[in-house]
Amino acid sequence: MSDKFKAIVIDNQNEKFTREIKEINKTDLKDGNVLVKIDYSDLNYKDALILNNGGKIVRKFPFVPGIDFSGKVIESEDSQFKKDDNVILTGFRVGEAYFGGFAQYAKVDSNFLIKTPKELDNKKAMMLGTAGFTALQCAFAIKAREELLLGEKVKDVLVTGSTGGVGSIAVMVLSKMGYDVHVVTGKKDKNDYLKSLGAKNIIDRKEFEGESKLLEKGTWDGVVDTVGGAALTKILAQVKPNGIVAACGNAGGIKINTTVMPFIIRGVKLWGIDSSGASIKRREFLWNEATKLIDFNKIQSFTKELSFNELIETFPKLLKGEFFGRAIVNPNK
């Protein structure tokens, strides 16, 4: 390979934030022991925050963002990974503390990588990315009610932020698992899209605004919450006895103002999801399950493939809630 390659570089010299598509050098990749030629990356909410102004997440500049990537191993100092192995990276603070996936090459710690399952490919892997991986983690947290915890069968599951990256894939996975999926959205024009993913019932976001009672009618066996804030407060009061809320996001706020009642009267479980730090064992399990639970033709139909230039044009729309579906990033486009 030539030592030079293309990357998005963000910088913050003298408090002036910049983002540029630049040529950088292989010697700029200082971390890790596996060099990967990137096939695809993707756009997540966190990527959009970082591309906007560093999002108070990136602390060292200049920096290459991109929290996910998939690609082929070029050089490896770890015998577990050989040249030409296809690999997936999501999270582990890559794109936050270590140079990330918005580049043609990345070098990372081999402990952060998993091999792309044979039934997947590197493009499909990024059609899911952190969003899909998180959705799978949330769905299995809910399934734990009937499996791991040997509780009642799950029937009614609520998904908030349902037209978003995590939400959309959660709807698809949960309906494939056989559950009745109820979705919350603020987008009135996306009913057909949500139905096509498997949503049975569509609820306006406004229904989850305002004060909630200590306990409301128990309605949900499981909840995938990508929104947090006041909506989560209300939702916790509506969970059935021994139901599980997989809380993964804060698109609507970070504060929850709840009471102990849902937990001590109904045994509600609030299950926090951190996809970035998930163990390799869990990653391998979930990425393999993806091949059984995801309809990739469907995801392809709402996935846009972006060049670096198009990514820079698109991320502000995600922050304004004007983008829906999935965006994969092709560094070679």
Residues that bind ligand NAP (CB under 6 A): 44-46, 130-131, 134, 161-167, 185-187, 205, 226-227, 248-252, 273-276, 318, 321, 324
C-beta of 91: minimal distance to ligand NAP in Å? Answer: 7
Contacts of 301 (CB under 8 A, 6+ apart): none
Q: How far is the CB of 187 from ligand NAP (least distance, A)?
A: 4
Which residue's CB is nearer to ligand NAP, number 71 or number 167? Answer: 167
Residue nearest ligand NAP by beta-carbon distance: 164
Would you say 167 or 262 has its CB closer to ligand NAP?
Answer: 167
Nearer to ligand NAP, 35 or 249 (CB): 249
- Output 35 or 318, the one with its CB closest to ligand NAP: 318
Residues 164 and 326: their CA atoms lie apart, in Å, by 8
Supply the DSSP symbol for 178. Answer: T
DSSP notation for 56-99 = TT--SSSB---SEEEEEEEEESSTTS-TT-EEEEE-TTBTTTB-
Q: Which is nearer to ligand NAP, 241 or 253 (CB)?
A: 253
Residues 317, 304 contacting (CB under 8 angstroms): no
Strands of 206-257, DSSP E: 220-225, 239-247
- Shortest Å, Cβ 120 to ligand NAP: 19
- The two three-digit tokens of residue 126, written as one number: 């990024």
- Measured CA to CA, the distance from residue 221 to residue 236 in angstroms comes to 11
Q: Is the dihedral of CA 98, 100, 105, 110 positive or negative?
A: positive
* Paired sense of beta strands 269-272 and 4-13, if any: unpaired
Query: Which is it for strands 220-225 and 156-159: parallel, antiparallel or unpaired?
Result: parallel
Q: In this complex, which beta carbon is closest to ligand NAP, that of residue 35 or of residue 169?
A: 169
User: Residue 277 has what DSSP assignment?
Assistant: T
* CB of residue 159 to ligand NAP, shortest distance in Å: 9
Which residue's CB is nearer to ligand NAP, number 241 or number 316?
316
CB closer to ligand NAP out of 62 and 186: 186
Q: How far is the CB of 113 from ligand NAP (least distance, A)?
A: 18
Kindly write down the DSSP assignment for every residue of 133-155, as one continuous string.
HHHHHHHHHHHTTTTTT--PPP-
Residues 6+ apart with CB under 8 A from 71: 36, 37, 38, 39, 40, 86, 87, 106, 122
- Tell me the closest approach of the beta carbon of residue 198 to ligand NAP, in angstroms: 15
CB of 140 to ligand NAP, least distance (A): 13
- 103 touches 6 (CB < 8 A): yes
Tell the smallest beta-carbon distance from residue 162 to ligand NAP (Å): 5
